[in-house]
Every structure is written in C-alpha cells, then in structure tokens.
Amino acid sequence: MSQIFTSPNPIGKKVLCVEDEHFISELYVRALTKAGYEVTVEVDGQRGLELAQSDQYDIILLDLMVPTITGIEVLRHLRNTTETPDLHAKIIITTNLEQREDIRSDIEKQADGYLVKAEITPRELVDFLSTIN
Amino acid sequence: MNHIQKYIAQFQNRIALLLMLNSIFIIGGYWLIADLVRPNLFFSNQAIATSIILVFIAFLSIILLSWVGSKTLSKPMQQVWQAVLHISPDTANTPSPDLTKLGFGRELVTTLITHVYQLASIVDNVEKLAASKTHDLKSDFVANSLPLPMVVLNKDTDILFANEAMLKYLGREEADTVGQNVYLLLDMLFTNEHTFDNWLEKARADKVTSIRTWERVRLNLPEKKETRYFDLVAYYNKNNPDGFEIMMVLFDRTRQYSQDDQAMSFVALAVHELRTPLTLLRGYIDVFEEELEGKLDTEMTGFMHKMKAAAQQLSAFTTNVLNVARYENDQLVLKLHEEAWTPLLKGAVKDMELRARVRGIKLTLNIDNDLPAIGADAVSVHEVVNNLLDNAIKYSSEGKEIIIRSYKTQDGSVETTIQDFGRGIPETAMGNLFDKFYRDYHNRTQVGGTGMGLFLSKAIVTAHGGNIWVRSKEGQGSTFGFTLMPYSELADELKKGDNADITRTAHGWIKNHSMYRR
C-alpha cells in the first residue's frame, strides 16, 4: 500500500514516488518533505499507475524496475491520451538501469525528465525539481 | 549490302547490252533486206551521206532506248531492294519506296514489298519476344538466387513480387503473399521516428527516386513465433512504367543484434547492481553532510568530503564502464546541438572541484570571452573534461595546481587544455596513451585507474570532429588538450544532410541533472 508523507512546511505540491527500493524512497522522502513537498510512495507499478491516473500529483518520480508492471508500461499508459486524457503532472524517470539507446530516447521523448539515481544526491533531485515546475 | 547494289547495276547493264545487241540485229537485218529489195539504195553517191546520218541516228536511238528500257525493267527490283533497306536496322534511314511512280510491274512489286514488310515485322516480334523472355528469365533468376529477402511494391504498397528468400523469411506461400499489403506482412518497428512510411511519404512528395537504409529494424513474426532484426534498404521510383514503385531488400541481422543486446544487458545489469548501493551511499552521505554541517571538526569534515568524492568517483567509473561497453557495441550515440562552451566547461570543472580539494589541488580556470558557440553533445563533452581532470588530479601531487584554459584557435575551433604539474609521462608511453586500457607501467602500481578515460575521451572528441592531444615532460607535468568545432561549421554540415541534428556513433546517455535539457 502506498504511504503518504506530509511536509512540516508545505508548499502545496504533491509528488508521487513509484520506487520499490525502500532505502532510496526513504532518502527521497526526507529531502522532498524538507523542501515542502507532500510525497506519496508506492512500490507497485500497477498501483502506481492507478494513483497517477487520479491526477492529483504535480510530479511523478517513476522508477523503471518496479513490480507487476514496469515503469516503461506505466509511462506508456500515462501518455495514452484516450486512457489518461490530460495528466497535468510532470513525469520524471528515475532509474539506475541503462537502456539501449533507441529505447532510452523513446522513453526520454515521453517523459519530462530522465535521471540516473546514482548520479544525483537527494538534494540535487530537489534542486532539479524546482527547475522544472 | 553492296554486292546486291552491284548486282542490280550489273543487271541493268546487261539488259542495256542485250537491248542494244537486239536493236543492232534488227536494224542490220532490216538493212540487208532493204538492200536486197532495192539495190544501191545505200551505195549511190548522193545517198552515202544520208546513210551515214541514218545509221548514226539509229545507233543513238538504240543506245537511248536500251538505257531507258533497262532502267524500267530493273526498277521493280530496285524498289524491292529499297524496301529491304528500309526495314534493315543498319540502313533504317532509307525511305520507303514510292510505288506510285512505278509503271511496270507495280502489282508484283507491291505484293513483294508487302511480304517483305510482313516478314520483317514477324522477325521483329520474335526478336522482341526473345529479348523479353531472356529479361524475365534473368530477373527471376537473379531475384530468386539472391539470398536476401526482397519485395517489390506498387503504388498502394501492395506486394507485386516477393523472391524465394522473402517467402522463406516470412514463412509464407507466394499465393498468399503477392497482392497483400506490405504493412500487413511486415510489422516493422524502427529505432526512431525516421520510419519507412515517413520516408515513403517524403519521397512521394518531392522525389523522383530515393534510396534509404535503416538499421536494427525489428520484425514480429507471430506465425513463426519469433522476433527478427534486420537492416533494410528501400528504393523508391516515381512513375515507374511497370508499376514497380518501391523495392525493399532485407539483411537479416538477428543473430548479431540479439547478441549485442545480451552483451549489453549483462553490462547494464552489472552496472545497475553497482548503482543501487552507490545511490544509497551518496544519498546517506548527503544526509550526513547536511545534518553534520558545522558540527564536525576540520579533520572529520575532510573525511566527509573524501567519502563524498570517492562515491562520486565510483559513480563516474560505472558510467565509464557502460560507455566502453556501448562504444564496443556501436551503441554510443552523440547528438550534437548548439552549446555555449563557457557554462558547460565551468559546470564540468565544478563537478571535479571536491575531488581536487580533498587531494589539496587547486583548479584554476582561464576561459577567453570571445568563444563561439560549439556543436556538442553536452553530456559527453562534460565527461571528457571530467576524465581529463580526473587524470590530472590522479597524477598531480598534493598542493599543486591544475590550470584549465579555453580559447579560440586560428582555424576558428575551440581548444581546451588541462595542464598539471605532476610527474609527467615518459616518452615511450606517449604513443599509445589513448589506446584502450593503456596505462604506463610505472604508474600502474602507484596510481589507480583502468585507463578507460583517455580511450573514451578520444572516441568522444573524434566523434565531435575534434582532436585530442597530449604534451608532456617527465618530472614537469602534462598538458592534455582537445578541440571542438564551432556550431556554425556544423550548421553547414546540417544543411547538407537530411537530418534534423547530427548523430554520430559514440556515447551519450548519462544525463547529469545539471545539464538536463529537453
């Protein structure tokens, strides 16, 4: 089940973090709530998709290797306009898995951002999110 | 040809001679008879002159009549011959004979010539038939002995012809292939938006002929329950009279591409496994740094920085491992865009600042103001700077300085140099410094590293159209330099090509967030 973490000093923005590595989500939650975001963490791809489709988030952090359905499939469903007409959230891929160039550029085209988790610290993630919204 | 004309001339001469002799005999006979009936007619004195004139006139008329007669008699033959010349391919400019002027033997000549013409058209047809037959046989033979699958399509992209290799490839019979739409039979997946139908649409709009190749096209064959990869060559020909508008030839590369995928996925998975704990390490160090700021003494702060720098270095290393794997698999792709070099270089240097600082090395930046915009793959050149700086830091000793300079060269490109005052490189090692995994023997024990950095940097710089070089003196330090081309020069190249941007084979997938662009 998803878990919601509120911020002590909210800025009124909601982040959905689809991530199955608990330690990573813990780090991201810490940095994000500190920066004023309310963060919902979901470990499962299918449930993550359902939450995303409720369109209550401003930012979706999407890991590609998650259970039930992969992040790539979640992304595809979210970008399908008949299924998800106007999603207002920005979708940021956060992954450590490298794709083949063609697959990667295809993902990049559909997403609003693509980050390699090993190359950024949680605080750098916060900095990045502040630049896209 | 000539001997026939000669023969006709001879024929004409003989007839003339015959007519002449005939006339002489007739006149001579008449003269003898007349002499018998009226003696002395020609021998009386006053008659001699008259006789001579008469004989002369008689001869003249004989010659004239013979000539006209022979001409008339040989005319039909000449007409027939002219007809033959008219239909002969070598002398086709000979006009067809005009039969209206022909009096004698017109009917015969007309019939003969009609037959000649008929015969000629039959021969012609037979020749054409034979030629087309050999053409068909030849093209069928070529197409079917071609081991590459091939299809020919009409304007509606329906299949007009599929060779045996194609039928085998698809696992179909000719009867249920020919006439089908190619998109129904070939469910092709392309690596980018430059697909076959995009090309076809463009070719139809503004090209007469066009040829294009695609690599790594994926094909799903549900009937055979398999996925295949091929490279594709397609040829478009507008308004082909035979209705062959498009020709497609497939080069199956399934074995190679799936092997590449497996090799890549092993490295990708290994790197993924390395990256997960690395992400955590960096994340928790980040937390510590934030929480402990101001609470640690100088020594502990130094340790913290060293830990952070080490984690950063490990992250860069895993990226290098991936890059080499990609490079070896021809999957390193560079996308060159117009970039301002100064902020890019500053960003890359800033990334290395902590690593230099924990080793007590000072980085000095010296960038000229008038640098033109460069054509670069931002992420890749960032890596080049990081790799060169990483080397400079490794081979420098504590307390030294590293000077980074960037300026415009005489030929207009942008050169960047990284100068260290470390131990330098022995002359014997200079030649193969940029080779894969080369590390100088005496450095091997003293300094860590895999030697991948320079190898990759060279690959990236070369793919940008630039040069990478080194100057070094043992004991005094080394200067590494590389050039990048101004965007204006690449822009010219862009105009020449069809591509929206220049894509070159070499790296390009680590996206550093600070350089993220959409």
CATH number, domain of A61, equals 3.40.50.2300
Query: For the segment A68-87, what is each residue's pLDDT rounded down to a tens digit?
Result: 888 988 998 998 878 888 88
Find the mean pLDDT for residues B46-64.
77
Q: Do A121 and B285 touch (CB under 8 A)?
A: yes
Q: Does one domain contain both B59 and B189?
A: no
The Cα of A115 is separated from the nearest Cα of chain B by a number of Å equal to 6
Strands A37-42 and B401-408, how do they pair?
A: unpaired
Which residue range forms the structural domain that includes residue B484? Answer: 332-515
Query: For the segment B5-31, what is each residue's pLDDT rounded down to a tens digit?
Result: 777 788 888 888 888 888 888 877 777
Q: Do B283 and A100 touch (CB under 8 A)?
A: no
Q: Do B278 and A118 touch (CB under 8 A)?
A: yes
pLDDT at B498: 41
Q: Does one domain contain both B366 and B502?
A: yes
Answer whether residue B36 is part of any domain: yes
CB contact, 8 Å: B164 with chain A? Answer: no
On whether ipTM exceeds 0.90, the answer is: no
Which residue range forms the structural domain that includes residue A9? Answer: 3-128
Looking at beta carbons, which residues of chain B come within 8 Å of A21?
276
CB contact, 8 Å: A128 with chain B? Answer: yes
pLDDT at B374: 92
Q: Does one domain contain both B409 and B357?
A: yes
Residue B461 half-sphere exposure, CB side, CA atoms within 13 Å?
24
Q: CATH number of the domain that B345 lies in?
A: 3.30.565.10
Answer whether residue A71 is part of any domain: yes
In the structure, what pLDDT confidence band is assigned to residue B506 with cuts at 50, 70 and 90?
Answer: very low
pLDDT at B342: 94
H or E stretch covering B406: strand B401-408
Cβ count near B503 (within 10 Å): 17
Q: Does one domain contain both B94 and B199?
A: no
Domain end residue (candidates: B202, B234, B252): B252
Query: For the segment B369-409, what is each residue's pLDDT rounded down to a tens digit?
Result: 989 999 888 888 998 999 999 989 988 888 889 999 999 99
Q: Does one domain contain both B495 and B374?
A: yes
In the structure, what pLDDT confidence band is assigned to residue B1 with cuts at 50, 70 and 90?
Answer: low
Task: Answer whether residue B436 shows pLDDT above 70.
Answer: no
In the structure, what pLDDT confidence band is assigned to residue B515 with cuts at 50, 70 and 90?
Answer: very low
CB contact, 8 Å: A4 with chain B? Answer: no
Answer whether residue B486 is part of any domain: yes
Q: Does one domain contain both B108 and B150?
A: no
Helix axes of A22-34 and A122-132: crossing angle, nearest 10 degrees: 60
Domain count for chain A: 1
Q: Do A114 and B333 touch (CB under 8 A)?
A: no
Domain count for chain B: 3
Interface test with B, best of A100, A108, A115, A128 (most B CBs within 10 A): A100
Q: Does one domain contain both B372 and B475?
A: yes
Q: Do B516 and A113 touch (CB under 8 A)?
A: yes
pLDDT at A13: 94
Yes or no: say if B402 and B418 are a contact pair by the CB < 8 Å rule: yes
Q: Does one domain contain both B491 and B391?
A: yes
Q: How many angstroms separate the Cα of B348 from the Cα of each of B125, B133, B272?
A: 77, 69, 24
Domain end residue (candidates: B252, B283, B305): B252
Distance, CA of B39 to CA of B464 (rounded, Å): 124
Looking at beta carbons, which residues of chain A come within 8 Å of B287?
27, 30, 122
pLDDT at A3: 92
Q: Do B331 and A101 touch (CB under 8 A)?
A: yes
Answer whether residue B281 is part of any domain: no
Q: Does one domain contain both B178 and B244?
A: yes
Closest CA to A21 of A72, A69, A57, A63: A63
Q: Is B453 helix (H, G, I), strand (E, B) or coil?
A: helix
Token pair, residue B380, equals 């890749």
Compare all CA atoms of chain A with the CA of B263 and give the residue at the minimum distance: A100
Closest CA to B402 of B414, B385, B415: B385
Q: Which residues, other chains included, contact B313 with Cβ-Cβ below 8 Å and sequence gap of 6+?
A: B355, B390
pLDDT at B138: 62
B347-363 burial: b if 16+ Cβ within 10 Å, else e: ebbebbeebbbbbebeb
Q: Do B279 and A117 touch (CB under 8 A)?
A: yes
Find the mean pLDDT for residues B70-87.
79
Answer whether residue B128 is part of any domain: no
Q: Does one domain contain both B371 and B227?
A: no
Task: Answer whether residue B106 shows pLDDT above 70.
Answer: yes
Answer whether residue B396 is part of any domain: yes
The percentage of residues in chain B with a pLDDT greater than 90, rounded to a whole number, is: 23
Domain end residue (candidates: B211, B234, B252): B252
Answer whether residue A133 is part of any domain: no
